Amino acid sequence: MSPDRFRPAPSSRAAAEAWAGIRDALTTVVPSIVAYGAVWGGLARQAGLSQRELVAMCLLVTAGTAQFVALPMLQAGAPAWLLVATTYVVNLRHYLMAASLAPYFAHLPRGRLAALAHGVTDESYALTMARFARQPAHPAYFAGAAGATYLAWYAGTAAGGLPGSRIPDPHRYGLDFVFPAVFIAILARSVRAPWQWAVAGAAAALALAVRAAVGGTWHIGVAGLAASALAVWLAPAGDPGVEPGPRAQGPAAGRPAPGEMAGGPPEPPG
Amino acid sequence: MRAGLLVTFAAMGVATYLTRAPLLLVLARRRLPAWLARYFAGLPIALLTALALPLLVFAPQGPRAWATDVPAAVLVALLARRTGHLLVAVAGGVVLVAALRALVG
């Protein structure tokens, strides 16, 4: 009997990975995204958007932070070019996230990459990098996590904009804490080697300094861009997590890819 | 529905996509030099740290949020380190932060 008999078919593996992405999103970030979506929906109605307009904005813009920033600008009658430019600046951090996801999707055709690019968000990125540090990378996981976070955002915003709905207070139930908690949990699981501590320490110092001095979301891009440079000098060349990875291999390759966060031995999935 | 708004929203969507797609499309199809692969190995750690810490330190409620949020963040880190489970760590942190906020008021 061939061992291949026990290997799952590509389609069933993709389905399992997509479900894993959906499950991980549902059990971590989705409740908070729905709550914040409802907050945004209520604020959007107060800013003068109709229910159809707020739904259209969510479907077209697909970026929660930028949408929160845009609401007071819309209310104040800001020009369209300023809204577009602000959206671009607020989302600049996605360049870095997309860059570090890219090596995992080396085998994908251009069209599928272009479609997956829509899914790059803070939450889907965090869940995906945590997963890929422990399991063989598969694009379906990313698609599942991103799809679940988007649906949560759409559901929350649409519900929050309905007439009669009250703007919820995520702070009261600790739902605002979910976002930093997910990021901290992933870091606590992953950061083990001295070079990883150095990168995290530098990023922490830079992010806090830039956030205090400039405000906005600049700290994410500046700290991400600058602190990662430490890895170029400090990460060991032979570290399997940072070697040029399985460029030509498929998603079932089962080897760590570049960008892996964990320097220590693999652990059971979380 | 106002047509001008729709055009603005569509342009905002294009601006968002322009931050997500280019590097994914370009870098996925190139073999990275070793130094750049090491740089990318550091990126998730740097980005997640930069996302997380300011959310705690610069909370909208100001420094009084530290008394509730920082202990909960420490618990999240300890649970994640000990159990390896995201859900357990995040749920533990949310329960603690909600309880502390109810106590502190």
In three-state form (DSSP H/G/I as H, E/B as E, the rest C), the secondary structure along A49-74 is CCHHHHHHHHHHHCCHHHHHHHHHHH
Per the structure, how many domains does chain A have? 1
Find the CB nearest B19 among A24, A91, A203. A91
Residues of B in contact with A70 (CB under 8 A): 12
**In a domain? residue A164:** yes
Report, in angstroms and rounded to the nearest whole number, the Rg of chain A calculated over CA atoms. Answer: 20
Nearest CA of chain A to the CA of B8: how many Å?
A: 6
Q: Which of residues 65-84 of B touch A (CB under 8 A)?
A: 69, 72-73, 76-81, 83-84
pLDDT tens per residue across all 270 residues of chain A: 444 455 556 679 999 999 999 999 999 999 989 988 998 999 899 889 999 999 999 999 999 889 998 998 898 888 999 999 989 988 989 999 999 999 999 889 999 999 999 999 999 999 999 999 889 999 999 999 999 999 999 999 999 998 877 777 888 888 889 889 989 998 998 899 999 999 999 999 999 999 999 988 889 889 998 999 999 999 886 543 433 333 333 333 333 333 334 333 223 222
Residues of B in contact with A211 (CB under 8 A): 54, 57-58
**In a domain? residue A241:** no
> Is the CB of residue B43 less than 8 Å away from at least one CB of chain A?
yes
Residue type, A60: L
Distance of alpha carbon A184 from its chain centroid, rounded?
Answer: 14
CA distance A59 to A247: 33
Range of the domain at A159: 10-191
Q: Does the global pTM surpass 0.90? A: no
**In a domain? residue A233:** no
Contact B15/A91, CB-based, under 8 Å? yes
Residues of A in contact with B103 (CB under 8 A): none
> Is the CB of residue B17 less than 8 Å away from at least one CB of chain A?
yes
| Domain boundary assignment for chain B | 48-104
Residues of B in contact with A120 (CB under 8 A): 20, 24
Residue position matching structure tokens 């209310």:
A75
